[in-house]
Structure 1
Amino acid sequence: MKKISVVIPAHNEEGNIFLIHQRIKDVFSKLENYHFEIIFVNDGSRDQTQAKIEELAKQFEEVKFIEFSRNFGHQPAVKAGIDSSNANAVISMDADLQHPPELIPELIEKWEEGFDIVYTIRTYPKEISAFKRRTSSLYYKFLSKISDVNLREGGGSDFRLMDSSVVDVVRNMNEADIFLRGLSNWMGFRQTGIRFTAGERASGESSYNLQKMMRFAFTGITAFSVKPLYLAAYLGFIFSAIAVLGYGIYVIHSFVSQTEISGWASLIMTVVFFGGLQLIILGIIGIYLGKIFKQVKERPNYIIRSKNF
Structure 2
Amino acid sequence: MNTLTIIVPCFNEADVLVDFISTVNLQTQELPLIKKYLLINDGSTDDTLDIMKNLSETFDNIFYLSFSRNFGKEAAILAGLEASDGDFVTIMDADLQDPPFLLTEMYKDMLEGQYDIVGCRRISRKGEPFIRSFLSRSFYWVINHLSHTEIPSGVRDFRLMTRQVVNEILRLTEVNRFSKGLLAWVGFKTKYLTYENIERKAGKTSWHFWQLISYSIDGIVNFSDAPLNFATLMGFISFIISMLLAAFYTFKTLIFGDPVQGFPTLITLLLLIGGIQLFALGIIGKYIGKIFLETKHRPIYIIKEKHLD
TM-score by length of 2: 0.96
* Structure 1 residue 149 corresponds to structure 2 residue 149: yes
Matched ranges for 1:228-243 at <5 A? 228-243=227-242
2:44 aligned residue: 45
Q: Which contiguous aligned blocks of 4+ residues in structure 1 show a shift greater than 4 angstroms?
A: none
Shift of 1:286: 0.8
Report the 3-state secondary structure (helix = DSSP H, G, I; strand = E; otherwise coil) of the residue aligned with 1:236: helix
Q: Distance in 2 between matches of 1:198 and 1:20?
A: 17
1:9 aligned residue: 9
Q: For residues 227 and 17 of structure 1, do their structure 2 counterparts lie closer, same or farther at Cα, with a shift above 3 Å needed? A: same
Deviations 1:70-89 (A, max 9, x none): 11111111111111000111
Q: Distance in 1 between matches of 2:83 and 2:203?
A: 27
Amino acid at match of 1:80: A
Matched ranges for 1:264-283 at <5 A? 264-283=263-282
Q: Distance in 2 between matches of 1:244 and 1:51?
A: 67
Shift of 1:67: 0.4
Deviations 1:206-234 (A, max 9, x none): 11111111111111111122121111111
Q: Distance in 1 between matches of 2:103 and 2:265?
A: 62
Amino acid at match of 2:228: L
Q: Percent identity?
A: 32
Report the 3-state secondary structure (helix = DSSP H, G, I; strand = E; otherwise coil) of the residue aligned with 2:229: helix
Shift of 1:102: 1.4
Amino acid at match of 2:24: I
Q: Distance in 1 between matches of 2:276 and 2:211?
A: 24
Matched ranges for 1:51-66 at <5 A? 51-66=50-65
Shift of 1:263: 4.1
Shift of 1:134: 2.5
Report the 3-state secondary structure (helix = DSSP H, G, I; strand = E; otherwise coil) of the residue aligned with 1:152: coil
* Structure 1 residue 83 corresponds to structure 2 residue 82: yes
Shift of 1:27: 2.5
Report the 3-state secondary structure (helix = DSSP H, G, I; strand = E; otherwise coil) of the residue aligned with 2:4: strand
Structure 2: runs of 5+ lacking an equivalent: none
Shift of 1:251: 1.8
Deviations 1:232-276 (A, max 9, x none): 111110121112112211221122111111141342132122212
Deviations 1:46-77 (A, max 9, x none): 11110111111111111110101111111111
Q: Distance in 2 between matches of 1:29 and 1:109?
A: 14
2:93 aligned residue: 94
Contact 2:43–2:67 under 8 Å retained in 1: yes
Q: Distance in 2 between matches of 1:267 and 1:48?
A: 61
Q: Distance in 2 between matches of 1:190 and 1:202?
A: 32
Q: For residues 101 and 228 of structure 1, do their structure 2 counterparts lie closer, same or farther at Cα, with a shift above 3 Å needed? A: same
Contact 1:179–1:220 under 8 Å retained in 2: yes
Structure 1: runs of 5+ lacking an equivalent: none
1:204 aligned residue: 203
2:23 aligned residue: 23
Contact 1:111–1:163 under 8 Å retained in 2: no
* Structure 1 residue 254 corresponds to structure 2 residue 253: yes
* Structure 1 residue 164 corresponds to structure 2 residue 151: no
Q: Distance in 2 between matches of 1:139 and 1:305?
A: 35
Contact 1:5–1:85 under 8 Å retained in 2: yes
Q: Distance in 2 between matches of 1:39 and 1:7?
A: 5
Report the 3-state secondary structure (helix = DSSP H, G, I; strand = E; otherwise coil) of the residue aligned with 1:158: strand
Q: Distance in 1 between matches of 2:296 and 2:128?
A: 41
Shift of 1:125: 4.6
Report the 3-state secondary structure (helix = DSSP H, G, I; strand = E; otherwise coil) of the residue aligned with 2:292: helix
Task: Indicate the RMSD between aligned Cα atoms, in angstroms.
Answer: 1.3
Deviations 1:167-211 (A, max 9, x none): 111122211111110011111111111001221111111111111
TM-score by length of 1: 0.96
Deviations 1:21-40 (A, max 9, x none): 00111123232x31101111
Q: Distance in 2 between matches of 1:66 and 1:8?
A: 10
Report the 3-state secondary structure (helix = DSSP H, G, I; strand = E; otherwise coil) of the residue aligned with 1:139: helix
Q: Distance in 2 between matches of 1:242 and 1:210?
A: 37
